[in-house]
């Protein structure tokens, strides 16, 4: 298993829009990506503009397929207007 933790800073006032786009994306991931085992959005308790996405995939190929999927690309464009900066992504291995 391979994981990804993405930290996203969202412009203040854009949180609701971002969460709606992410919710639609999460449904697409669940419905279309058999190699995805977890795709969970979380929000910081310390800063309401900071979110972390916890992702878990069966292997690198499934993670790669996620990034190349049409639904991810489309959602990324919609989320982009909400972003306050570039995402910080860490890839991790399950132990």
> Using 50, 70 and 90 to split pLDDT, how confident is the model at 42?
very high
Mean pLDDT of 76-95: 97
The fraction of the chain above a pLDDT of 70, given in percent, is 100
Domain ranges of the chain: 2-93
Question: pLDDT band at 20, cuts 50/70/90?
Answer: very high
Read off the pLDDT of each residue in 5-29 and give the average, rounded to a whole number.
98
The arrangement of secondary structure in 2-93, i.e. its CATH architecture, is: 2-Layer Sandwich (3.30)
Distance, CA of 90 to CA of 87 (rounded, Å): 10
> Hey, what are 4's tokens?
């990804």
β-partners of residue 39 are 55
């Amino acid at each position: 298993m391979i994981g990804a933790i993405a930290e996203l800073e969202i412009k203040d006032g854009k949180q609701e829009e971002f969460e709606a786009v992410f919710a639609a994306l999460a449904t697409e991931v669940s419905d279309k990506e058999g190699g995805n085992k977890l795709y969970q959005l979380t929000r910081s308790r310390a800063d309401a503009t900071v979110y972390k996405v916890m992702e878990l995939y069966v292997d690198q190929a499934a993670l790669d397929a996620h990034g190349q999927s049409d639904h991810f690309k489309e959602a990324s464009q919609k989320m982009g207007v909400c972003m306050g900066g570039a995402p910080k992504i860490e890839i991790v291995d399950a132990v």
